[in-house]
Structure 1
Amino acid sequence: MYKGKRILATISARGGSKGVPGKNIRDLGGLPLVAWTIREARRSGMIDRLIVSSDDEGILAVARSHGAETPFVRPAELARDDTPGVDPVLHAVAALLPETYDYVVLLQPTSPLRTVADIDGAIAACLDGGHPCVLSVTEADKSPYFMFTLEDDKRLSPVIAQERYHTRRQDLPRVFMPNGAVYVADCAWLAQTRSYLTPQTRGYEMPRERSQDVDGLLDFDICELLLRKAGRIA
């Protein structure tokens, strides 16, 4: 609980990964991928309850073995490739009724480098600022001000219209992109908007070294290297 508000954290980990089969329970530095997120979430002093939402019994068993609750099996229709990310979150909130929460935090297992400081920092930014939603972002490594579309005649057309083209990155505005690590939202607001990205959404900046997303096998190697560099594994 934080500032008198009950906070639910849900880890969405479906079983149907096609790029890397069994991705969410694949070993990363001695722990299943999902366990890195469970471990940091359990360290939070702000989260009242931590659950894992999955359609896969293997993932649910691993989650329980690492200290997360698995109060339900996610319906198959909410575990498809085209399922919007907000739908399993709203399902989790509804599935726990009559127990209610003021805020829900979505933590994706594919962001294993995020720490409890990032989780609590995003929660505090949301509640302290009186915002309905805060999501974690990181500075983009490539500026869209340097990006172009290639027209049929091979003409370069800038993605962002500019009066003059800048040649130095230092002269450009900083730009950010969601990194998928932490989503914090007011439960009632999220049920109404069914989207995290609205004009009311605010960003919580995270460093690049904790913003790596696990999509393919190479990402496992990169994350393990970064975890070792940070001293989080031997």
Structure 2
Amino acid sequence: MINKKRVLAIIPARGGSKGVPRKNVRLLSGKPLIAWTIEEAKKSKYIDRLILSSDDQEIIETAKTYGCEAPFVRPNNLAKDSTLGIDPVLHALEGIPGYDYVVLLQPTSPLRLAKDIDGCIERLTETSSHACVSVTYPDSSPYWMYTMNEKGTLQPLIKQKGISTRRQDLPMVYALNGAVYVAGIEWLKMRQSFLTEETAAFVMPRERSYDIDTEEDFMWCDWVLKRQLR
């Protein structure tokens, strides 16, 4: 609870995964991937209830083992490759009333800490925003990116008077890192998206902003966590 507002956290974890098969229950530095998110969420100062949204029985049983509630099985039509990320959140909110804020925690961000979750919630309330999402500094600036035309020549992605050769001369930019999404529930139901022009940002360091989408991502996070444990 924060400012007398109740907070519901949702971990979405479907069974199908093409990039890294069965990644949500695959062992990462000795624990299932999903366990890293559950354990940090349970350390939060503000989360009143933590639930899982999954279509997969193995994921459900694994989450329960680590103390995450699974009050329902997600319908198959909300567990497809084409399913929008917001749909499982809205589905969960339909059956779980009585909360003011919702926090979406994707299990593919195992390096995210409880202080990042709480920091994003605090940022939401401090700025009196309807939503807040975590971001980080991208590896490459879009001001140094190009498209290619039909002739095979490069065209700047962002039109500029001149191309800066020093990174410090470029405008500061941020990229979504997928770690934490927070919003007022009634506002989210109307907007059906965490991302609008009203959304605030909570900046996380790059070293905690890895989002597992490939085998290489999984291997890197495994190395980072094993190094931290040592």
TM-score range, shorter chain: over 0.9
Does the CA contact (< 8 Å) of 1:209 and 1:226 recur in 2?
no
Q: In the alignment, which residue of structure 2 is the partner of 1:65? A: 65
- What do residues 132-183 of structure 1 show as CA deviations (whole Å, max 9, x unaligned)? 0000001111011111111122222111010111111111012111000000
TM-score (norm 1): 0.96
Runs of 4+, deviation exceeding 2 Å: none
Q: 1:60 deviation in Å? A: 0.3
- What do residues 160-207 of structure 1 show as CA deviations (whole Å, max 9, x unaligned)? 010111111111012111000000011011100111111101111001
Q: In the alignment, which residue of structure 1 is the partner of 2:135? A: 137
TM-score (norm 2): 0.98
Does the CA contact (< 8 Å) of 1:137 and 1:205 recur in 2?
yes
Supply the distance in 2 between the matched residues of 1:144 and 1:211 (Cα, whole angstroms). Answer: 18
Query: Is 1:187 aligned to residue 153 of structure 2?
Result: no
Does the CA contact (< 8 Å) of 2:127 and 2:200 recur in 1?
no
RMSD: 0.9
Supply the distance in 1 between the matched residues of 2:125 and 2:109 (Cα, whole angstroms). Answer: 23
Does the CA contact (< 8 Å) of 2:51 and 2:70 recur in 1?
yes
Please list every run of 5 or more consecutive structure 1 residues that lacks an aligned counterpart in the other structure: none
Q: In the alignment, which residue of structure 1 is the partner of 2:215? A: 217
The percent identity for this pair of structures is 53
Q: In the alignment, which residue of structure 1 is the partner of 2:88? A: 88
Supply the distance in 2 between the matched residues of 1:225 and 1:141 (Cα, whole angstroms). Answer: 20
Please list every run of 5 or more consecutive structure 2 residues that lacks an aligned counterpart in the other structure: none
Pairs aligned (count): 230
- What do residues 10-33 of structure 1 show as CA deviations (whole Å, max 9, x unaligned)? 000000112222110000001000
Q: Which of 122, 147, 150 lines up with 2:148 in the alignment?
A: 150
Within 5 Å, give how 1:10-89 maps onto structure 2.
10-89=10-89
Does the CA contact (< 8 Å) of 2:52 and 2:68 recur in 1?
yes
Q: Secondary structure in 2 aligned to 1:52?
A: strand
Supply the distance in 2 between the matched residues of 1:155 and 1:63 (Cα, whole angstroms). Answer: 50
Supply the distance in 2 between the matched residues of 1:30 and 1:155 (Cα, whole angstroms). Answer: 48
